[in-house]
Structure 1
């Protein structure tokens, strides 16, 4: 009589085992889904240290030495310019404080107000950062040098229970003047005007 081959495969699962395996697979699927929101965004590019550049909403102090009429506190307008008395609009968007001061000096010379003006410019208040999505109190918060994603979220009450907490979406105006959205980690450094979007988990 011919011997039957012996199969040494994996034994079939019991009904209880099948239910457990199905539950584990479902849990993994849900876990993968909750972390995939926004994961396809391009990662935040590495930043190189550099001087701060002015933008709409920054509050600055302009000091024109030897002329108190032109010295005062001003806000960078929506068009990226400072409206200065006797001078008019001076574009400062994207310039450093040093470059903006030289720009004002040039405007003073071109209007024959000074032969050799001397101007200093300092930032009083930075334009805010905006934090939206799954946080306790979404909205704008004042920017502070060295602010990270996590510290910005903390200022609006922290993550809520539905939040993806390992990364966020971060929208920033690039040098081309266009808004670009990235995936950023909790320790990513922010810039004034950034918009942080905290994603919602899918379960």
Structure 2
């Protein structure tokens, strides 16, 4: 009787472990393009604050925020599409529109004044929204969010990222780079 009970308990434990491990595979490893996005030029999106300078035009030089629709409101020329643009492309677009009856040869430069935030969730000390810094890794973001809890999986994380207007989630190592706007989720470890 004791042997049957032990065998039944062992079977239940094995079934539970298989089911738990099956739940771990709900996210696939990060696709190839996922990591490649970290090496591409920075693409602007809603929430980025830009310092735009127009040479010898102090009235146009200012900080502008990319709104939720993906535009910046720029004096004289109105709304300029910024979402998905690189900074050199946006510089050229603003200069081109300023040439159309406003300035003869505008010299426009753009710097990111404040990047959109990253979000850290799951098994961390203080889940929430945090400032992005270029070169940030998942481990840096987790450290800023109070580090791992005692239950946190310290090997890999799930990162949700917007690539070419598609939201993709992939599992990466904690040393993988993150981008502005990413959501980092620390899962609970099994053992």
Q: Return 35-44 or 71-80, whichever deviates more.
A: 35-44
Specify whether residues 154 and 25 from structure 1 end up closer, same or farther in structure 2 by C-alpha distance, changes over 3 A only. Answer: farther
**TM-score, scaled relative to structure 1:** 0.80
Specify whether residues 30 and 137 from structure 1 end up closer, same or farther in structure 2 by C-alpha distance, changes over 3 A only. Answer: farther
Distance (Å, rounded) in 1 between the aligned partners of 2:140 and 2:20: 23
Query: CA-to-partner distance for each residue in 1:142-177, whole Å, 9 max, x for gaps?
Result: 1111111111111101111222332222111111x1
Matched residue, 1:188: 176
Q: CA RMSD in A?
A: 2.6
Specify whether residues 155 and 36 from structure 1 end up closer, same or farther in structure 2 by C-alpha distance, changes over 3 A only. Answer: farther
Answer yes or no: is the 8 Å Cα contact 1:101–1:121 preserved in 2: yes
- Report deviation, 1:109: 2.0
Matched residue, 2:50: 60
Structure 1: runs of 5+ lacking an equivalent = 1-14
* 41, 52, 66: which one aligns with 1:51: 41
Distance (Å, rounded) in 1 between the aligned partners of 2:67 and 2:154: 35
Please tell me whether residue 147 in structure 1 is matched to residue 136 in structure 2.
Answer: yes
Q: How many pairs does the alignment contain?
A: 187
Could you say what secondary structure the match of 2:98 adopts? Answer: helix
Matched residue, 1:179: 167
Matched residue, 2:99: 109
Structure having the larger proportion of residues in helix: 2
Matched residue, 2:28: 42
- Report deviation, 1:193: 0.2
* 77, 82, 85: which one aligns with 1:92: 82
Structure 2: runs of 5+ lacking an equivalent = none
Matched residue, 2:59: 69
Matched residue, 1:118: 107
